[in-house]
Amino acid sequence: MDTTSLHTRPWSRRLRGALDAPAHWEILDIPAGPLADAVESLPLGPYRDALRGVWLGHPLHPALVQLPLGCWMSAGLLDFTPGGRRSADVLVAAGLLTAGPAALAGWVDWARLDPPRRRTGLVHATANITGVLLYAGSLLARSRGRRVRGRVLGLAGLAAVSAGAALGGHLSYRQAAGPDRAAAVPRLAPADWVGLGPVENFPVGEPTRRMAGELAVVVVRDGERCHVLAERCAHLSGPLSEGTVADGCLRCPWHGSEFRLRDGEVVQGPATAPQPVFETRVLSGHLEVRLPGAG
Ligand code: FES
């Protein structure tokens, strides 16, 4: 019996190497910078955070991409099913229509990534744009009655968007571009009250880093009241103790996410998940904290 694990086989290593490779292609930084600036300057207003998925609590892009991918995969099957031609044509068109919002949400997320993830994202987007163009050609061919060409272009489009999806999955799960980086906080935080020191040691309105057991937290003193949040930003783990405080919010120094001090809710993205907030109490002038549900 072959005891070699699947993930140690040469083809598996080559596949993972291929998915990892774009993150190292520094030449992609040349177009990535101006492109990110262009995306950031789009006049999206409050729709920018809506596209990010702040209202949903996690990125919206992965949910939206199900629409075009589902349409196109179904079209691929119907193309080879007796009587399925017309439905396949409709699904190819529906995929093209729904690809727009999915792509816009993706670009908005992409613009605030760091350079290695941006490079992977750019290759992911290029594969998907190629797929969209191939599907547009497929639809055109279908409308002119050139069924074989329409099918072939559709299959080529499916291959392109599948490659894009593989890179998107790698970007999300291997390179952790979208997850809530603070999700582990309840498991890392001490289960009981833990002291952070005398209240008078915390300067008013200035974020201050402390350790609560093994977990870094940031303390913001507001008069006699102290707000305590997890130190690492839910977006990409930026150090919130180096951020700024304004209007009852703490702003991350890396990409500008703003979290309400009172409850950690996202007031401005790119973070989509709220920042964990600790309960506080003051005993004999000493600040103590605990996280409800921790441990
Ligand atoms: S790390 Fe990106 S906003 Fe905080």
**Ligand 1 pocket residue status of 154, Cβ below 6 Å:** no
Residues 50, 123 share a domain: yes
Q: What is the pLDDT of residue 70?
A: 96
User: Looking at the structure, do residues 59 and 96 belong to the same domain, yes or no?
Assistant: yes
Question: What is the distance between the alpha carbons of residues 86 and 48, in angstroms, rounded to a whole number?
Answer: 36
Does any ligand 1 atom lie closer than 6 A to the CB of residue 259? no
Verify that 151 and 194 share a domain, yes or no.
Answer: no
pLDDT along the chain (295 residues), means of 10: 70 89 96 96 94 93 95 96 93 97 96 94 97 98 95 97 95 89 87 90 92 92 90 94 94 95 93 94 91 72
- 50 and 169 in a single domain? The answer is yes
> Residue 294: its pLDDT value, please?
67
71 located within any domain: yes
In a domain, 16, yes or no: yes
In a domain, 11, yes or no: yes
Boundary residue ending a domain (151, 174, 197): 174
Q: Which atom of ligand 1 is nearest to the CA of 237?
A: 1
How far is the centre of ligand 1, averaged over its atoms, from the C-alpha of 55 (Å)? 17
Same domain, 135 and 234: no
8 Å CB contact between 181 and 58: no
- Whether 238 is in the pocket of ligand 1, judged by its Cβ within 6 Å, is yes
Question: Do both 236 and 142 map to the same domain?
Answer: no
In a domain, 274, yes or no: yes
Tell me how far apart the alpha carbons of residues 267 and 251 are, in angstroms, rounded to a whole number. Answer: 10
The enclosing domain of 250 has a CATH number of 2.102.10.10
251 within ligand 1 shell (Cβ under 6 A): no
180: in domain: no
User: Does 228 lie in the same domain as 110?
Assistant: no
* Cα 293 to ligand 1 centre (Å): 25
For residue 105, being part of any structural domain is answered with yes
Identify the pLDDT of residue 179: 86
**Residue that terminates a domain, selected from 134, 155, 174:** 174
Element (H, E) at 11: helix 10-20
**Is 295 a member of any domain?**
no
Does 270 contact ligand 1 (Cβ within 6 A)?
Answer: yes
21 and 101 housed in the same domain: yes
Q: Map residue 175 onto helix, strand or coil.
A: coil
- Closest atom of ligand 1 relative to the 253 alpha carbon: 4
- Domain identity same for 38 and 84: yes
Statement to judge: residues 113 and 236 lie in one domain: no
Number of domains in the chain: 2
Q: Tell me whether residue 29 is in a domain.
A: yes
- The CB of 240 under 6 Å from ligand 1? The reply is no
Please give the residue range of the domain that contains residue 31.
6-174
- What does the pLDDT read at residue 213? 86
Residues 107 and 165 in one domain: yes
236 lines ligand 1 (CB under 6 A): yes
For residue 270, cis peptide bond before it (omega within 30 degrees of 0): yes
Question: Do residue 247 and residue 155 come from a single domain?
Answer: no
Nearest atom, ligand 1, residue 252 CA = 4
Q: Compute the distance from residue 208 Cα to the ligand 1 centre, in Å.
A: 17
CB of 255 shorter than 6 A to ligand 1: yes
Torsion angles phi and psi, residue 266, rounded to 5: -75, 120
pLDDT reported for residue 291: 84
Give dist(CA 105, CA 90) in Å, integer.
Answer: 24
Interacting residues of 19 by C-beta distance below 8 A, sequence separation 6+:
166, 167, 170, 174
Domain boundary among 144, 174, 204: 174
Q: Could you tell which of 257, 258, 266 is best to mutate to test the pocket of ligand 1, judged by most ligand atoms within 8 Å of the CB? A: 257
